[in-house]
DNA sequence: CGACCGGCAGTTTTT
DNA sequence: CTGCCGGTCG
């Protein structure tokens, strides 16, 4: 068979990685170096050239999107369907293992997945049930504690502590886990931990999979946490081959448990592994790469990598200094319009920021300019309230012991089961170590409730039982339709009088169509409903957005990872914003911010624009910041600086109380403009931010680089204009 | 049981 | 300055 097409168009290093023999491998893949391509071609190579069955290859990624892309490209390359091949996310594959071996994993067959929102709700109830003060022991922190422990592979019984605060969190962990186990609920971290324990504690299961997966490929390895890497090692056993692909310079998820050190650990644990560096970049201009290389060079303990390109030098990086965030936004919009006038597509433009709050001002300016935009990272389909309600009904119908689902819908729509009744049910459930359903059943049967409450609870239990009968052996979409109508959920939202309710009804209808078009795989003996529920939990779905529209792309620097755009704006390049205030202090966290900067810069293909504002309003407070240190790390010859050139018109003025058209005139007489750089005898250099008054009393606000922001009387200040 | 008010927190995100 | 959550009132 002619397999040369698997190597065509690849560079030498890429070929080496794709056509490597039976061995372990670390592929250090720089940004834009064709990482996915190498992974996909390697899989195809293993199958076509080395004659492995598709079923003896396992490829794991972090996001569904990456997994779907990989699967699609492998199929295209092989020219055949690989639906049943094990390509998926860590969570997806762990789930698959647990379904197939639920008994060995100690789970009920119909176990359900708890998403973060469900988890938080359950934690709140657990904390309440333990009679702990919710202010002192926030559910969020408890969740953080529990997930962290699970990521480290630790069960409550493994944890010993003398710290009284931790003791309480440990107690919550214990109680929460018991609640999950009673209800057959598995949270995201639990999926990974259980799957790991399943392999670790069951020799036959472990050996079966070790025998099966001769080649394991891990994408974005720098993002793995402890349990994920442990899971990979367990599967690899002594005989199988592991290829990991990653980039220590793009490790930006340390704060959620990712361990870059796993890269070093891999080299230690797989000492015969070859390291292949992919440094040729196919994305950006050499200017952008040089700048990014220089920035990241300030980090220590790198595995080391220098990106280069055969491409053109391109334009210099533009650095824009605005006097505030509104003006920054206006500049960006003007630049986008110019891009558009020159024939550029809006969807080729990305606006990146460090935190979501920054998007607002940008949005307002885009709106004002009538430029369509799309924000990444909104609520996704299965995260929506009404959809979660409906899914909870489906879950409860398929497993009555599911307390999370029970709690969610027991009084939605309201059917007279109030907090008072529910707390009685919870108390009994707790005392009897059983589920809400069982407790409620018992209370109804044994007349432990007052008449009205008893009737209400009884009719709810009957409703679920009846829905179960009606749904039996029905197609998925029929079941969904039945549940929506039978539960009164649809009617509830239809009756609601708001535009929000309208979208909610639409989303419920959309859910029915989603079940219609859902294609169950029939894997692991799951019913279509069970598969759909898992799908809803593991793949929250795309955000609903008109993706086809030509729109400017707005997103955080984090969500930009893996994407590329011809024109990229990195906004808010200020100390305190980026790097974030929260990450200052610890050198390690600062280096992660720098990697984030590196990720942002390397998203740009043709043109990179960085901007910062002298003053930025955050939480209603005006703050002054110096330009980000990352800017100073870029060689100045790669940068063209732009400052406010024209006087600012209305929208800028509106924000200042002092700012009248009269003072505007008077001010312009002084010869200073907003954003203008000035020199003061004792305060040094600064930027003009604001001004007030007319004539001899007129004052001017200057943000000095070293001395901070000050109001000065123009007549006395002796300011020298710079530039 | 729902509507309103007040307090308070407030990076980054996927599964 | 916002948005969310929890508490209280009608």
What CA–CA distance (Å, rounded) separates A522 from A587?
A: 50
Asked if strand B comes closer than 7 Å to A417 Cβ, the answer is: yes
pLDDT at res. A693 = 67
- At the topology level, CATH places domain A4-103+192-280 in Rossmann fold (3.40.50)
Nucleotide nearest residue A555, measured CA to C1':
B12
**pLDDT tens, A701-720?**
787 877 777 778 877 777 88
Catalytic residue among A15, A35, A354, A699, which?
Answer: A35
Phi, psi at A496, each rounded to 5°: -65, 135
Q: Which two tokens stand for residue A362?
A: 């940008």
pLDDT of residue A307 exceeding 90, the answer is yes
Strands A274-278 and A25-29: parallel
CATH class of A382-539: mainly alpha
In strand C, which positions have an atom below 7 A from any protein CB?
Answer: 1-2, 6-7
What CA–CA distance (Å, rounded) separates A658 from A664?
A: 10
pLDDT at res. A662 = 33
Domain layout of chain A by residue ranges: 4-103+192-280, 112-183, 317-380+544-642, 382-539, 656-722
- The confidence band for A667, taking pLDDT boundaries of 50, 70 and 90, is very low
pLDDT at res. A649 = 42
In angstroms, how far is C3 C1' from A356 CA? 13
The set of residues, in sequence order, having a beta carbon less than 8 Å from that of A515 and lying 6+ positions away, is A476, A477, A479, A480, A532
pLDDT of residue A619 exceeding 70, the answer is yes
Quick one: A317-380+544-642 is in which CATH superfamily? P-loop containing nucleotide triphosphate hydrolases (3.40.50.300)
CATH of domain A112-183: 1.10.10.160
In angstroms, how far is C7 C1' from A446 CA? 34
CATH 3.40.50 fits A656-722, yes or no: no
In angstroms, how far is B9 C1' from A669 CA? 45
What number of helices (H) and strands (E) belong to chain A? 28, 21
The A 118-157 residues near strand C by Cβ under 7 Å are 124, 134
Nucleotide nearest residue A419, measured CA to C1':
B1
Range scoring the smallest mean pLDDT among A122-136, A304-318, A430-444, A667-681: A667-681
Instruction: Considering only CA atoms, name the residue closest to the C1' of nucleotide C2.
Output: A619
Beta-bridge mates of residue A467: none
Same fold, A112-183 and A656-722: no
The A 575-594 residues near strand B by Cβ under 7 Å are 580, 582-583, 589, 593
pLDDT of residue A648 exceeding 50, the answer is no
pLDDT of residue A670 exceeding 70, the answer is no
pLDDT at res. A694 = 63
- The confidence band for A1, taking pLDDT boundaries of 50, 70 and 90, is low
pLDDT at res. A568 = 98
A577 is catalytic: no
C-beta separation of A1 from A249 below 8 A: no
- The confidence band for A19, taking pLDDT boundaries of 50, 70 and 90, is very high
Strands (E), A452-603: 552-556, 565-570
- The confidence band for A109, taking pLDDT boundaries of 50, 70 and 90, is very high
pLDDT at res. A494 = 86
pLDDT at res. A664 = 37
pLDDT at res. A522 = 76
Asked if strand B comes closer than 7 Å to A617 Cβ, the answer is: no
pLDDT of residue A524 exceeding 80, the answer is no
A219 is catalytic: yes
Range scoring the smallest mean pLDDT among A251-265, A364-378, A487-501: A487-501
**pLDDT tens, A584-611?**
888 999 999 999 999 999 999 999 999 9
Residue of higher predicted confidence among A182 and A656 = A182
Q: Which two tokens stand for residue A438?
A: 């069982």
SS3 state at A446: coil
pLDDT at res. A232 = 98
The set of residues, in sequence order, having a beta carbon less than 8 Å from that of A1 and lying 6+ positions away, is A48
Asked if strand C comes closer than 7 Å to A423 Cβ, the answer is: no
Which secondary structure element, helix H or strand E, spans residue A469, and what is its range? helix A451-471
């Amino acid at each position: 068979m002619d397999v040369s097409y698997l190597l065509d168009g690849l560079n030498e290093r890429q070929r080496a990685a794709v056509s490597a023999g039976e061995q372990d491998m670390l592929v250090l893949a720089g940004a834009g170096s064709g990482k996915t391509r190498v992974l996909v071609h390697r899989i195809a190579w293993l199958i076509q050239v080395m004659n492995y069955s598709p079923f003896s290859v396992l490829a794991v990624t972090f996001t569904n999107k990456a997994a779907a892309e990989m699967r699609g490209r492998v199929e295209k390359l092989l020219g055949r369907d690989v639906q049943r091949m094990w390509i998926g996310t860590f969570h997806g594959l762990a789930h698959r293992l647990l379904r197939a071996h639920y008994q060995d994993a100690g789970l009920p067959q119909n176990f359900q997945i708890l998403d973060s929102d469900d988890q938080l709700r359950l934690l709140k109830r657990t904390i309440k049930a333990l009679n702990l003060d919710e202010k002192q022991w926030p559910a969020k922190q408890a969740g953080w504690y529990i997930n962290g422990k699970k990521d480290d592979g630790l069960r409550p019984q493994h944890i010993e502590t003398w710290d009284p605060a931790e003791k309480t969190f440990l107690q919550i962990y214990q109680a929460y886990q018991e609640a999950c186990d009673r209800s057959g609920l598995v949270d995201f971290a639990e999926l990974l931990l259980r799957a790991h324990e399943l392999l670790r504690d069951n020799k036959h299961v472990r050996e079966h999979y070790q025998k099966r997966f001769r080649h394991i490929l891990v994408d974005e390895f720098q993002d793995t946490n402890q349990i994920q890497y442990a899971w990979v090692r367990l599967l690899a056993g002594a005989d199988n081959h592991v290829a990991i692909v990653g980039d220590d310079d793009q490790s930006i998820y340390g704060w959620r448990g990712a361990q870059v050190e796993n890269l070093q650990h891999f080299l230690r644990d797989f000492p015969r592994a070859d390291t292949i560096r992919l440094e040729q970049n196919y994305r950006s201009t050499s200017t952008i790469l040089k700048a990014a290389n220089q920035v990241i060079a300030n980090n220590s303990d790198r595995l080391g990598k220098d990106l280069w390109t055969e491409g053109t030098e391109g334009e210099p990086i533009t650095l824009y200094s605005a006097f505030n965030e509104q003006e920054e936004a206006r500049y960006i919009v003007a630049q986008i319009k110019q891009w558009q006038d020159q024939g550029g597509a809006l969807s080729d433009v990305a606006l990146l920021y460090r935190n979501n709050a920054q998007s607002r001002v940008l949005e307002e300016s885009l709106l004002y300019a009538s430029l369509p935009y799309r924000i990444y990272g909104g609520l996704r389909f299965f995260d929506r309230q009404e959809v979660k309600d409906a899914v909870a009904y489906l879950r409860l119908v398929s497993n009555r012991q599911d307390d999370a689902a029970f709690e969610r819908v027991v009084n939605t729509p309201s059917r007279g089961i109030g907090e008072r009744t529910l707390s009685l049910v919870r108390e009994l459930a707790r005392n009897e170590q059983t589920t809400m359903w069982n407790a409620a059943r018992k209370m109804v049967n044994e007349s432990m409730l007052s008449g009205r409450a008893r009737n209400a609870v009884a009719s709810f239990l009957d409703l679920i039982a009846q829905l179960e009968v009606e749904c039996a052996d029905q197609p998925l979409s029929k079941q969904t339709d039945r549940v929506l109508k039978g539960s009164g959920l649809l009617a509830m939202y239809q009756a609601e009088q708001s535009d929000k309710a309208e979208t909610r009804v639409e989303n419920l209808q959309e859910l029915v169509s989603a079940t219609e078009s859902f294609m169950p795989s029939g894997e692991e003996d799951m019913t279509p409903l069970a598969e759909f529920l898992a799908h809803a939990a593991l793949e929250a779905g795309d955000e609903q957005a008109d993706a086809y529209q030509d729109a400017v792309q707005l997103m955080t620097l984090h969500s930009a990872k893996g994407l590329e755009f011809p024109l990229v704006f990195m906004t808010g390049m200020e100390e305190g914003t980026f790097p974030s205030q929260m990450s200052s202090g610890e050198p390690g966290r600062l280096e992660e911010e720098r990697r984030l900067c590196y990720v942002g810069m390397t998203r740009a293909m043709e043109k990179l624009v960085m901007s910062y504002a002298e003053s930025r309003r955050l939480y209603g407070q005006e703050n002054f910041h110096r330009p980000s240190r990352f800017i100073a790390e870029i060689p100045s010859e790669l940068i063209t600086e732009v400052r406010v050139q024209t006087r600012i018109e209305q929208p800028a003025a509106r924000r200042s109380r002092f700012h009248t058209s009269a003072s505007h005139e008077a001010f312009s007489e002084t010869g200073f403009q907003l954003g203008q750089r000035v020199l003061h005898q004792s305060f040094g250099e600064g930027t003009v931010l604001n001004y007030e008054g007319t004539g001899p009393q007129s004052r001017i606000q200057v943000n000095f680089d070293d001395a901070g922001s000050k109001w000065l009387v123009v007549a006395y200040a002796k300011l020298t204009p710079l530039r």
